[in-house]
Amino acid sequence: MSSANTTPPVAGILHLGLGNFHRAHQAVYTRAALDAHGGDWGIVGVASRSRAVVDALRAQRLEYAVAEISPHGMSLSVPAVHSDAFVASETPERLVGSIADPAIRVVTLTVTENGYSYSAATGHLDVAEAGIAADLRGGLPRTTIGGLARGLQRRASDGGSPVTILSCDNLAENGAHTERLVREFLQLLPGGEGDEALAFLDQAVAFPSSMVDRIVPSTTDQLRDDVSAALGRRDEIPVPAEPFSMWAIEDRFAAGRPAWEAGGAVFTDEVGRYEQMKVRLLNGTHSLIAYLGALSGAETIPEAIVRPDIEGAARRVLANEYLPSIQVPSGVDIEDYERQLFDRWANIALRHRTSQVGTDGSVKLRQRVPEPAVLTLRAGAMPQQIALTVAGYLACIAPLPGFEPGPHARAMNDAARPRLAAAAATARSGVDLARAGIAEMQLLGQELAEESAFIARVGELVDIISTHGVGAAIRDCAAASEKSTTHEKELSA
Ligand code: CS2
């Protein structure tokens, strides 16, 4: 076990989103950077609302363990990189002040796809969201984007020292996306109030993109007990994580950065390619496994992927629908990458729950599904397995009357659930439900909203799942994919 010395490092990073992912990913790379090169790169961790992690961190001298879990066992490390922690909703003033603090040179974010307050339909800032509307009216910010904008306004007027805002969430072009939302917020402020900050952004603020990857489940009581026993002291907030970890970052920092490469991070101009590869191949396929798995009664991803029908669907979506939509980053052996994905999903010791991956599908699918689906449609084929993923999502979140999706689907949280459930309650068939989610609510963006054949196929699959079960829908899609591959082969023969 590696354990750092106990003096908290001096802070240079403010991190928004103190969840498990940050603590098993960026914190570990930062420990490696500090060990290799030193520097004032301690992290002030900010939780948006919950006190749980902040209280525990403070009670544990700002330390916790990362438990790397594989079928071969568990190994522990203690990153000890946090220099303080607080809750943004309790002290929004401190959030604004910290973003403005010149000692902070990098602000990192893991606030999930859900934390960016943007509209799935347009990709722009969702001004109808209550938090954004309130933040635009003034006062202390409640949203991440509002907080960033207000903090950057303060920083601009306090001397404007350069800073980098680094998104580490599973969003396409997450740097540009974050910058666009912050700018939109500032542009919407009345009377040119945001102008000074906008000029500051032009000159001294960088928003590089990054691709992050590590499967990090939720913490269980069992893990708390196991880790505490191994450490010989109580740890209330250990984080379980798979052995695999990857971080690809665009090297565009306004005021320096930690030597994260010491932990294996890759600095590259091809972050866009890494993001697409990861968000589609890993996350897109993950969603399919989660929804089909939950509907099949699987509590965890490994229990789902050992089912031959789900593994088959996962292999087909990956090879036929996601892979053709990406450009592989140079130096990545894609066959090896794919092999690793299946090994990672099969990590039975990790107990990654289908309900965790299935949560927030309304914002996650928007990132994973539309472009590959549209590309397949443009090439003249129906993206069968993507349609199946979306049908699985709808069947889990908004089951048609009389259909019981099971406890793992019921455990998925999703902000779109009430609206989708209302549509399901009056739907005459799956197509009505698919139309409500894809065309009316535009959960998958504007382009797919107009693809009536895709919507019809999703609806048909919802009906098959509801009347004959998820296995029948998987077989139906497998047969349809088989037919179109044979047809393609005949055409090219
Ligand atoms: C998962 C991701 O919950 C999900 O939607 O697909 O959290 C996934 O485990 C990580 O992105 C892996 O890096």
122-155 residue pLDDT tens? 999 999 999 999 999 999 999 999 999 999 999 9
CATH code: domain of residue 57:
3.40.50.720
373-421 residue pLDDT tens? 999 999 999 999 999 999 999 999 999 999 999 999 999 999 999 999 9
Asked whether residue 350 falls in the same domain as residue 476, the answer is yes
Please provide the DSSP assignment of 48-59 as one string: SS--HHHHHHHH
Q: From ligand 1's centre to the CA of 398, what distance in Å?
A: 22
Nearest to 223 by CA among 209, 212, 234, 208: 234
Span 433-457, mean pLDDT? 98
CA distance 335 to 324: 13
What's residue 491's pLDDT?
67
Asked whether residue 328 falls in the same domain as residue 453, the answer is yes
Span 88-100, mean pLDDT? 98
Asked whether residue 243 falls in the same domain as residue 352, the answer is no
Asked whether residue 234 falls in the same domain as residue 156, the answer is yes
Asked whether residue 227 falls in the same domain as residue 367, the answer is no
What's residue 2's pLDDT?
46
39-57 residue pLDDT tens? 999 999 999 999 999 999 9
222-248 residue pLDDT tens? 999 999 999 999 999 999 999 999 999
Q: From ligand 1's centre to the CA of 194, what distance in Å?
A: 35
Span 98-110, mean pLDDT? 98
Q: From ligand 1's centre to the CA of 443, what distance in Å?
A: 19
Share of the chain above pLDDT 90, in %: 95
Q: Is 214 in the pocket of ligand 1 (CB under 6 A)?
A: yes
Pocket test for ligand 1, best of 286, 344, 354, 367 (most atoms within 8 A of CB): 286
343-370 residue pLDDT tens? 999 999 999 999 999 999 999 999 999 9
Asked whether residue 155 falls in the same domain as residue 286, the answer is no
Please provide the DSSP assignment of 210-279 as one string: EEEE-------HHHHHHHHHHHTS--S--EEE-S--EEEE----SS----GGGGT-EE-S-HHHHHHIII
Counting from 1 in the atom list of ligand 1, the atom nearest the Cα of 213 is 13
Asked whether residue 294 falls in the same domain as residue 179, the answer is no
Q: Which domain holds residue 134?
A: 2-267
Asked whether residue 246 falls in the same domain as residue 132, the answer is yes
Q: Which pTM does this prediction carry?
A: 0.95
Counting from 1 in the atom list of ligand 1, the atom nearest the Cα of 357 is 3
Q: Taking the CA atoms of 366, 372, 376 and 378 in sequence, report the sign of the dihedral they define.
A: positive
Share of the chain above pLDDT 70, in %: 98
CATH code: domain of residue 299:
1.10.1040.10
**Single-letter residue type at 449:** A
Where among 222, 248, 267 does a domain terminate?
267
Nearest to 125 by CA among 146, 141, 153: 146
Q: Is 408 in the pocket of ligand 1 (CB under 6 A)?
A: no
DSSP single-letter state for residue 125: B
Where among 240, 267, 294 does a domain terminate?
267
- 424 pLDDT more than 80: yes
Span 421-428, mean pLDDT? 98
Q: Is 213 in the pocket of ligand 1 (CB under 6 A)?
A: yes
Asked whether residue 328 falls in the same domain as residue 193, the answer is no
Nearest to 144 by CA among 181, 100, 196, 192: 181
Q: How crowded is the C-beta side of 442, counted as CA atoms within 13 Å?
A: 10
Asked whether residue 211 falls in the same domain as residue 343, the answer is no
What's residue 228's pLDDT?
98
Position 8 confidence tier, pLDDT thresholds 50, 70, 90: confident
Query: Which amino acid residue places its CA nearest to atom 6 of ligand 1?
Result: 283
Q: Is 28 in the pocket of ligand 1 (CB under 6 A)?
A: no
**Single-letter residue type at 341:** L
Query: Which amino acid residue places its CA nearest to atom 5 of ligand 1?
Result: 357
What's residue 6's pLDDT?
61
Q: From ligand 1's centre to the CA of 356, what distance in Å?
A: 9
Mean pLDDT, the chain, rounded, equals: 96
Q: Are 132 and 182 in contact (CB under 8 A)?
A: no
Asked whether residue 186 falls in the same domain as residue 283, the answer is no
Q: Is 353 in the pocket of ligand 1 (CB under 6 A)?
A: no
Where among 267, 296, 323 does a domain terminate?
267
**Count of domains forming the chain:** 2
Number of H helices, E strands in the chain: 24, 13
- 492 pLDDT more than 90: no
Asked whether residue 277 falls in the same domain as residue 364, the answer is yes
Q: Is 245 in the pocket of ligand 1 (CB under 6 A)?
A: no
